[in-house]
Amino acid sequence: MEAASLNPVDLKIQKGLMRPILIPRKLPFTPATDIAGEVVEVGTGVTKFKAGDKVVSYLGLSIGGGLAEFAVANETMTVPRPPEESAAEAAGLPIAAITAHVALTQPAGVKPDGTDPKKNILITAASGGVGHYAVQLAKLGNTHVTATCGARNLNFVKSLGADEVIDYKTPEGQVLKSPSGKKYDVVVHCAGGFPWSTFEPSLSTNGKVIDLTPSPSTMMTFALKKLTFSKKQLVPLICVPTVENLEYVVKLVKEGKLKTVID
Ligand SMILES: NC(=O)c1ccc[n+]([C@@H]2O[C@H](COP(=O)([O-])OP(=O)(O)OC[C@H]3O[C@@H](n4cnc5c(N)ncnc54)[C@H](OP(=O)(O)O)[C@@H]3O)[C@@H](O)[C@H]2O)c1
C-alpha cells in the first residue's frame, strides 16, 4: 500500500451508522476503500495485473481494508496507475471523483466534451473531496459554475475554475443565491442539510438538485415532485463506483484535465 484516502462514509462506518445495511460485512473491520499501491502478488485467474504493477483500486464499503500495509483488491475494481499520477493523487479518486463524475453526467446530463447547451450549475461544499472534483469536471463541460465553500477556501475554489464563489456563512451563501443572479439548471449538493425551500427560488424551470446525502425528507420531496409532475426535481444519489468510471477519472488525471488537491 502506498496511499489510502478517507471519505465521510468511512467515519459513518466507524460509528456503526451503516450497520442497518450490513456494512461492514463482518468484524473486526479495517477501514478505507480508496487505495493506490503496487501489486505484490496475484491470485490464480488474475490476468490483468502482475507483481510490480502500480495500481489504483476501490475495495468496496462492506470489505474495506485500506488502512493496512497490504490489502486484497479485486481485479474487477482495479486499474493501472499511470506514472504521471502519484499514489496520493490516485487514491483520492475512487469515491470522491467518481461521485462527482456520475452526479454531473447522469442525472445532470453535463457532457464533459462541452457539446451541450450551456448549463448554470451550483456546487455546494466545493472545497471538499467531491466538490473540488465536481468544479473541475463541470468546467470541462459547457457550464457556468457557482460554488459555495468556507471563507478560507474562496481563492482555492476559484483556482479550480469556478466562475463565482460564495462563502456559505454570508447571507447570500445561506440562501445559495448566485451573485450574478443566475438561476441554476443543476445543483450538485455536497453540503447536505438544506431544505427544498432554499433551492426552489434559485432553480430554473427544469432545475434539478442532486442530493448526495439523501435524508428521509429528501425522499419525501423526491416522491412528491415525481407524483405532482413537477418540472423542478430533487434527485437522491447514492453512487456505486464502477471500473469504467475509475478508468475514466484516472485517464482525466493522466491527461492533466483533473487534479487531486491535497492540503
Ligand atoms: N451519495 C454518495 O454516493 C456520496 C459519495 C461521496 C460523498 N457523499 C457525501 O457528500 C458529502 C461531501 O463529501 P466530501 O467527501 O466532499 O466531504 P469533505 O471532503 O469532508 O468536504 C466537506 C466540505 O464541506 C464544506 N462545508 C461544510 N459546511 C458547508 C456548507 N454549509 N456549505 C458549503 N460547504 C460546506 C467544507 O468546506 P470548508 O472547508 O471550505 O469550510 C468541506 O470542504 C458528504 O456528506 C458525503 O457523505 C455522498
This prediction's pTM: 0.97
Distance between CA atoms of residues 61 and 10, nearest Å? 8
Q: How far is CA 138 from CA 65, 149, 221, in A?
A: 32, 16, 26
Shortest-distance atom of ligand 1 to CA 8:
47
Report CA(123)–ligand 1 centroid distance (Å): 10
Residue 146 DSSP class = E
Mutate to test the pocket of ligand 1, among 130, 156, 158 (most ligand atoms within 8 A of CB): 130
Specify whether the CB–CB gap between 94 and 125 falls below 8 A: no
Using 50 as the pLDDT threshold, list the residues of the chain that sit under it. Answer: none
Q: Hey, how many other C-beta atoms are within 10 angstroms of the C-beta on 35?
A: 27
Taking CA atoms only, the protein residue closest to ligand 1 atom 33 is 125
Architecture of domain 3-92 in this structure: Alpha-Beta Complex (3.90)
Domain locations in the chain as residue ranges: 3-92, 108-236
Shortest-distance atom of ligand 1 to CA 192:
45
Taking CA atoms only, the protein residue closest to ligand 1 atom 2 is 238
Specify whether the CB–CB gap between 202 and 173 falls below 8 A: no
Mutate to test the pocket of ligand 1, among 5, 7, 187 (most ligand atoms within 8 A of CB): 7
pLDDT at position 257 is 97
Report CA(96)–ligand 1 centroid distance (Å): 10
The domain 108-236: what is its CATH number? Answer: 3.40.50.720
Residue 202 DSSP class = G
Report CA(212)–ligand 1 centroid distance (Å): 9
Shortest-distance atom of ligand 1 to CA 169:
31
Report CA(47)–ligand 1 centroid distance (Å): 37
Specify whether the CB–CB gap between 204 and 183 falls below 8 A: yes
Within 6 A (CB) of ligand 1 lie 7-9, 95-96, 99, 124-125, 127-131, 148-150, 153, 168, 190-192, 212-213, 237-239
Grid coordinates of 246: 475509475
Report CA(77)–ligand 1 centroid distance (Å): 24
Taking CA atoms only, the protein residue closest to ligand 1 atom 25 is 125
Report CA(182)–ligand 1 centroid distance (Å): 23
